[in-house]
Amino acid sequence: MDASTAITSLQLSFDQITASSGEAALHYLEYQPQLAPLALLGIDSGGNDAFAGALELDHPIPAPPAASKVTAPWCLTLLSPAANLMQVRSVAEFIAAQGASIEAVDTLSRQRDCTVLRFQVRGELNFDETRCACLALAEEIGADLVLQAGDSQRPPSLAGFDMDSTLIDAEVIDELAKITGIGDQVAAITEAAMRGELDFRQSFKKRMRLLKGFPETELARIAPQLPLKPGAERLLRALRAMGCKTAILSGGFTYFANYLKSERLPIDVVHANELEFAAGVLTGEVIEPIVDGARKRSLLEEMAEESGLPLSRVVAVGDGANDIPMLSLGALGIAIHPKPKVRQVAPQSIDRFGLDAALYLFGLNDSQIAGLLGSD
């Protein structure tokens, strides 16, 4: 590590950090007042000039093997691609403005392109109002801010995933349409449906009619080419290692969901739409029941009931308007790179990172994640 990126480790009060006006890139922040009255701060060398009288430590504080126990009723997680002291001050001021207090702060990730700070917060918060305010602050400071109940910071037992634009970085129905020369026409309908501007069932039927005559032989060529969403494999592998059951709940097609399950990702269950072929081509008709937003939610709820799980052990992950019903079902409803309408209503939202960033919302730090993934 050269001098320009050397870390200065300081021991000082949390009030000194929030009252300072200095700027510096942030590597970590550990503040556990029930264990020690002073905070531990890791910043780029040179930033310590703003903290006169702070004790400078001889070496960086090692990352803890496990995240600290959550004892507060709320957690507010800052996920930043370029963390700095300004972001910490902004979050601290925001929490104070809600009439709440910071009970602890710990660093879940110290990666140079992903610093994750978890603020444990105590106070009477209106979840929806505070969540919306978090979205506005996140835009202002260039980070993701995720609010959740403190007791939801634990690994789930059941996780339901949308497929298109969530687990894969594509909309399969649009890929089929490109081959038949109507890609733009179908993509426009898909985009409007995902934004919540069109009824999903009606838009699905319309798109299937447009795809009438699509050759069945093309499916096997398309499936291997569908790109995974960044972080999808890491997240699903970690969930499998934790013993969490996973399901694809997709308004897309079973052929591609089953391909993902058998060839690409550790998925346990698939629920999606069936393609109807006759004489080797799509008929343009749909096979009921269509997996729309309401059915996604009911399927996830049924799986929880069949497994004897309370909804507090269930999470859902998606990006489009037809994911909104299931996102509001369990302990967490995580929208990944969501459409604007979805971002405004989803309980949790991650915009700047891949799917594996969800692991930090389960109360894990990088050391624990590495342990789950082995040599990865």
Distance between CA atoms of residues 297 and 291, nearest Å: 10
Distance between CA atoms of residues 177 and 167, nearest Å: 20
Q: Which residues pair with 314 in a beta bridge?
A: 158
Q: Order the strands of the 314-318 sheet from edge to edge.
A: 269-273, 245-253, 158-161, 314-318, 332-336, 348-350
Q: Tell me what pLDDT residue 171 has.
A: 93
Q: Per the residue annotation, which of 162, 323, 356, 366 is the catalytic one?
A: 162
The model's pLDDT over 146-201, given as tens digits with 9 standing for 90+, comes to 999 999 999 999 999 999 999 999 999 999 999 999 999 998 998 898 888 988 99
Q: Tell me what pLDDT residue 151 has.
A: 97
Whether residue 289 has a cis bond before it, omega within 30° of 0: yes
- Pair of tokens at residue 246: 């996973």
pLDDT at 51 over 50: yes
Model confidence at 3, pLDDT cuts 50, 70, 90, reads very low
The model's pLDDT over 7-48, given as tens digits with 9 standing for 90+, comes to 899 999 999 999 988 889 999 999 999 888 999 999 987 666
- Whether 144 is catalytic is no
Q: Tell me what pLDDT residue 2 has.
A: 39
Report pTM: 0.94
Nearest one of 201, 183, 203, 184 to 192, comparing CA atoms = 203
Distance between CA atoms of residues 219 and 231, nearest Å: 25
Q: Tell me what pLDDT residue 45 has.
A: 77
The model's pLDDT over 128-148, given as tens digits with 9 standing for 90+, comes to 999 999 999 999 999 999 999
What are the Cα distances from residue 55, in Å, to 12, 52, 58, 114, 347?
7, 9, 10, 26, 40
Q: Tell me what pLDDT residue 376 has.
A: 57
SS3 per residue for the chain: CCHHHCEEEEEECHHHHHHCCCCCEEEEEEECCCCCCCEEEEEECCHHHHCCCCEEECCCCCCCCCCCCCCCCEEEEEEECCCEHHHHHHHHHHHHHCCCEEEEEEEEEEECCEEEEEEEEECCCCHHHHHHHHHHHHHHHCCEEEEEEHHHCCCCCEEEECCECCCECCCHHHHHHHHCCCHHHHHHHHHHHHCCCCCHHHHHHHHHHHCCCCEHHHHHHHHHHCCECCCHHHHHHHHHHCCCEEEEEEEEEHHHHHHHHHHHCCCCEEEEECCCEECCEECCCCCCCCCCHHHHHHHHHHHHHHCCCCHHHEEEEECCHHHHHHHCCCCEEEEECCCHHHHHHCCEEECCCCHHHHHHHHCCCHHHHHHHHCCC
Q: Tell me what pLDDT residue 48 has.
A: 67
Distance between CA atoms of residues 311 and 293, nearest Å: 18
- Whether 164 is catalytic is yes
Domains of the chain (ranges, CATH numbers): 3-152 (3.30.70.260), 158-373 (3.40.50.1000)
Nearest one of 131, 135, 130, 105 to 118, comparing CA atoms = 105
The model's pLDDT over 240-295, given as tens digits with 9 standing for 90+, comes to 999 999 999 999 999 999 999 999 999 999 999 999 999 999 999 999 999 999 99
Average pLDDT, the chain: 94
Q: Per the residue annotation, which of 44, 164, 323, 366 is the catalytic one?
A: 164
